[in-house]
Each structure stands twice: as structure tokens, then as C-alpha cells.
Structure 1
């Protein structure tokens, strides 16, 4: 099995973790989309307030919630 086939199998099986750097107006909706389809996803941002809001379930982008 080639590396590409292994990667495609991990994506199909949803065992491949997606990493998103920057959780702004592009990164957060992208992270949310992967999460909604059941992909394991990790988001990273240097803005501690954004991270705290997300940990507390408080979205800071209007079309994603409150």
C-alpha cells in the first residue's frame, strides 16, 4: 500500500487529525466544518481570549452561533 493510499484510508476512516492554525474568520469555520463531519480536529490560536471563549462555548463569529 502506498503512502497516498494510507493517507486516503485515514481520511475515509476519519482517523486522520486535522490541524488548523489561526482561528479567525477562515480558520474557525474551517475547523467547525471538519468537526461537523466527524473529523478529529485541533485548533491553535495565539489569542488567549479566543481560546478561552471557545473553551467556554462562546463563539465570537456571529454566523457560528450567539
Structure 2
């Protein structure tokens, strides 16, 4: 299947490198749009919080 078709059918997977003030909201937006999203970050504290479904950014709700 070509990329355009995978995007249109929401079968494409999205990868976000860096889950800071730009990456995390972007990942949430793609997830809310129906895509499978994988986020990457080098900060282990951020990763642990996100694995627990918690946000470390005040402007983003506490529970993800």
C-alpha cells in the first residue's frame, strides 16, 4: 500500500522524536486523529511519566 493510501486510511504509523513542548502535543494530535503513534525521548523521567499516562507539561491535562 502506498504512503498516501496508508495516511488516508489511518494505517500509517507516526513516530515523534522528542516529546517536549512541540513533540508531545503533536503526538497527542496524531493519536486523537486515529493514528498509531510512537514517541521517543532521551529523558527517562519524561518517559516514565508518559508510560504512566501522566503529562509533565502544565498546559496539557494531567492524564493522557
TM over 0.5: yes
Gaps of 5+ in 2: none
Gaps of 5+ in 1: none
Q: What is the TM-score with the length of structure 2 in the denominator?
A: 0.90
Q: Which runs of 4+ in 1 moved over 3 A?
A: none
Q: What is the TM-score with the length of structure 1 in the denominator?
A: 0.88
Larger Rg, first or second structure (1 or 2):
1
Tell me the matched-pair count: 62
Q: Which has the higher helix share?
A: 1
Give the one of 35, 38, 46 matched to 2:31. 35
Task: Kindly report the root-mean-square deviation, in angstroms, between the aligned alpha carbons of the 2 structures.
Answer: 1.2
After superposition, the C-alpha distances for 1:22-51 in whole angstroms (9 at most, x for unaligned) are 000000000000000111110000000000
